[in-house]
Each structure stands twice: as C-alpha cells, then as structure tokens.
Homo-oligomer: A and B are copies of this chain.
Amino acid sequence: SVTLFGVVDASISSYSSTSRDLHGATLLNPFYLNQGSVKVSRRELANSGYNSSRLGFRGTEDLGGGLAASFWLEAPIKNDDGSEGVATFNRRSTVSLSGGFGEVRLGRDYTPTFWNNTVFDPFGTNGVGTNLIQTAAGDFGHPTRASNTIGYFLPPNLGGFYGQLQYGFSEKTKYSPGLATPDVANNSRTGRNIAGRFGYANGPLDVAVAYGSSTVGDQFYVGTTTKINTLNLGASYDFGPVKLFGEVSKSKNKVDYEVTPFAGGRPDVDLTGYLLGVTVPVGAGLIRASYSHVKYDNNAPVVLFAPEVADPKANKLALGYVHNLSKRTALYATIARVSNKNGAALTVGGPAFISNAVFTPKNSTGYDFGIRHAF
C-alpha cells in the first residue's frame, strides 16, 4: 500500500556571469579608465537539471462509496554530493480525503501560482532553462510551496474544468488584549497564504489562471502588512508536431497601512513577466526552447530635474534537447543566456554577479548536460 518513488538527476553544469564597467570619461572625470569586464564562473556536478531529484512515499486507500484517503511525502535530495537525504518532506507532505465532492488536502503543498509557472514552461522550471518569471519570483518573495495549508481541489469529472483553493495558516501567537503583544515579533499575520487556480484542459488545449497572496511581513504596532500578490495566466496548445506554451504574470509587493501615512506610503513594487515556449518531438527526443522576459517597476515618484531611473529588466533565451532512453531514463542538454539591463542581476544559476560601483551585471550563460533516472 506504499509506493516508493523518486528521481535521480545529475548533470555536468557550467555557469558564467559577466559584469561590465559602463562608465566612461565625463567632464568631471575626463581621464576615467574603463575597467572592462569581470566574469565569475563555476563548473559543477549538479543535480535536478531536467527533473528535480527527489525520494518519496505515497499511497491511496479505497474507503468505499467513492471515498479515498491518500498521503504523499516527498523529499528533495542532493545526489551530486549526497549531502541531503530524506531529511525533510519539503517538496510535498500531505494527507487527503477525496470523493465525489473533490479532494481536501492538508499539509505542505505547491502554491497554485507556481503551477502556472512550471506547467507552461517547456523546461518545467528546472536547470539553466528555467523561465525568468520563476527565477525572479524567488527573490521577489512569492513562494513555490506553502506550509500548514488546507487545500480544496475540484473533482476530475467537470468536463475539462479544474480548480483548487489553498489557505495556509500563519501559525503565529495572538494576544488578547492586543496591547499584550510583545514589542518584538508582533507579526501575527506573517506567513499566511491564500491562493487559487482555475483552468480548462481538453484535447490539445490547457489554459489556467491563478492568484496568490502571501503575507510576508507585518508589524502590529506600526499597523502595516506587507503582501506579495501574484496573478498569472498560462496556456499551452499541442499541435502535434509542435506544442506551444505561453504565460503572463504580474506580482506586486504591497504595503497595507492601517493609517495611511501623510506622504502616501511606500509605492508598490511591481514585477511583470511573460514567457513564450515551444517543444518539438523528434523520434525518441524532444527539442525545447523558450524566451522569457521580466521587468521590475519601483513606481518611484518623479523628482524634478533628476534623471528618471530606468526600470531593471531582463530577458532569457533557452534551448535544449532531451533524448529518452526509456520512459524513466533520459539524457539531456540545455544552454541558456540571460541579458540584464538597468541593474537587473538574474543569472542562469551558479555564483552571483559581481555588482558594485564599478561593475554592472550584464550577461549570464550556462549549460547542463546530464542524465535523469526516475524510479
């Protein structure tokens, strides 16, 4: 009644990120010597270049009358150096009750908005090919998974329509009366996640919209609550010889004030992005390609006479090939390049850019060449 399953994925991977001196001679500094460029690079035996390495235990019990109980415990593993075994079930850890009404699922699970990022990415958010929407979401604070959640999933028999709702407890201590709240750690709402996803999959078409709101900070006495709200829409269409993918996404880092400050408060920070992708089956193989783009907007107020600060943005091109030796075992190769503008510092992986007063992050390139074995 227990299924043991997993993925062991290892690759030779290389990352190289170049920063450039964008300064030149000016009236004030007529003899400025441009410092050229500086590169950080690393070659590794990496894991999870095509599929995330994992080890899991799952099972389902038929309770009769259409009812079923099931569990899913899945650990991330690091097979390149063996440093992480089944130490946690951080990938997924749930117990469910399902029936004609759908499924109620308790525990740690993926966020609905992450599903759109990964399902509509030809590279499935793994390896150097991971789309920029997902790469940027990590730093921006939008979670891939949420803990302590109650989830509800629509039943599978709705003519192609599917959907889910997710609520994650903040699990913070509350004080009553409120003035008994300690000065420090007065953040009783931080950690809460509310999200949902609704889609339609029928024949070659799959399209879904997702929304998620994560409370990433709050201060009881100051009266502020900081949230990351994300709305995205993804779709794929399988023409047979070619499958197309697309996604648009908008995230907002927003501070809610109980008492609006006189100056209006901190402006929202926006992160928008889109993704276009394609996969082409070739015999036992699959060609994969994607183009993704993100832009940050600090919504900084315009200051008279000061030069407008340009929005950081980046785009990425990824190209890969997967050769299936069997259903469970595949060889793969991926190359990717990120181009950053106006201070964005996104990489394909590996060490962070050198970023200081002299050098500005520019291009990051890398490759994965590996094997994925599932069991």
Contact = CB atoms under 8 A, between A and B. Distances in A.
A150 interface: yes
A85 interface: yes
B97 A88 contact: no
Nearest to A147: B81
A82 B108 contact: yes
A73 B64 CA distance: 32
Question: What is the oligomeric copy number?
Answer: 3
B4 A41 contact: no
A319 interface: no
Contacts of A315: none
B169 A43 contact: yes
Contact of A4 (B57, B94, B148): B57
Nearest to A91: B82
A69 B350 CA distance: 28
Interface string A1-42: 110111011101000000000000000000000000011111
Interface stretch (A120-128, A171-179, A199-207, A215-223): A171-179
Contact of A176 (B39, B63, B69, B172): B39
A269 interface: no
Given A41-B174, A173-B351, A82 B71 contact: no
A75 B38 CA distance: 41
A87 B88 contact: yes
A35 to B, nearest CB: 10
Interface in A161-200: 168-169, 171-177, 180
Nearest to A329: B69
A90 B82 contact: yes
A97 B370 CA distance: 11
Contact of A73 (B9, B43, B79): B79
Given A82-B89, A147-B80, A375 B59 contact: yes
A44 interface: yes
Given A39-B176, A88-B87, A373 B81 contact: no
A168 B70 CA distance: 39
A89 B95 contact: no
Nearest to A47: B107
A346 interface: no
B107 A10 contact: yes
Contacts of A375: 1-2, 59, 61, 71
Contact of A55 (B44, B73, B148, B180): B73
Contacts of A82: 73, 88-93, 107-108, 145, 147
A317 to B, nearest CB: 23
Contacts of A328: 61, 69
A89 B71 contact: no
A78 B148 CA distance: 10
24 contacts: A6-B73, A38-B175, A38-B176, A40-B174, A40-B175, A41-B174, A44-B148, A45-B106, A55-B73, A61-B328, A63-B326, A63-B329, A69-B371, A71-B373, A75-B86, A79-B107, A80-B108, A82-B88, A82-B89, A82-B92, A85-B87, A85-B90, A95-B371, A95-B373
Given A55-B73, A64-B326, A180-B354, 10 more contacts: A2-B5, A2-B6, A8-B107, A10-B95, A41-B174, A44-B171, A69-B329, A79-B108, A82-B90, A86-B87
